[in-house]
């Protein structure tokens, strides 16, 4: 059984491209779902596969978002 690599060497631009591509894919799938729901009921395709893929991609985008290190100033700065 093959082992999986646990260390990846991706730079910020690579991650940004991956994130943009995933966002584009979610948008494309969402448009397909919206256009399919506008069709007649008799010709409506099964959308569960598309909706599952959207949910998985959004989960992956969320995990990428949570791994980002956000800048927070050390000194007090008023916000808002």
Query: What HEC string does 25-74 produce?
Result: HHHHHHHHHHHHHCCCCCCCCCCHHHHHHHHHHHHHHHHHHHCCCCCCCC
**Domain boundaries along the sequence of the chain:** 30-37+47-65
pLDDT reading at 4 higher than 90: no
pLDDT reading at 73 higher than 80: no
The residue-averaged pLDDT of 66-71 equals: 83
pLDDT reading at 40 higher than 70: no
Which one has a higher pLDDT value, 6 or 63?
Answer: 63
**Is-above-0.75 flag for pTM?**
no
């Amino acid at each position: 059984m093959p082992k999986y690599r646990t260390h990846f060497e991706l730079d910020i631009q690579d991650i940004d491209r991956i994130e943009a591509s995933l966002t584009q894919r979610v948008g494309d799938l969402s448009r397909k779902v919206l256009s399919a729901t506008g069709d007649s009921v008799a010709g409506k395709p099964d959308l569960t596969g598309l909706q599952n893929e959207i949910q998985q991609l959004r989960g992956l985008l969320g995990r990428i978002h949570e791994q980002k290190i956000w800048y927070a100033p050390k000194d007090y700065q008023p916000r808002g």
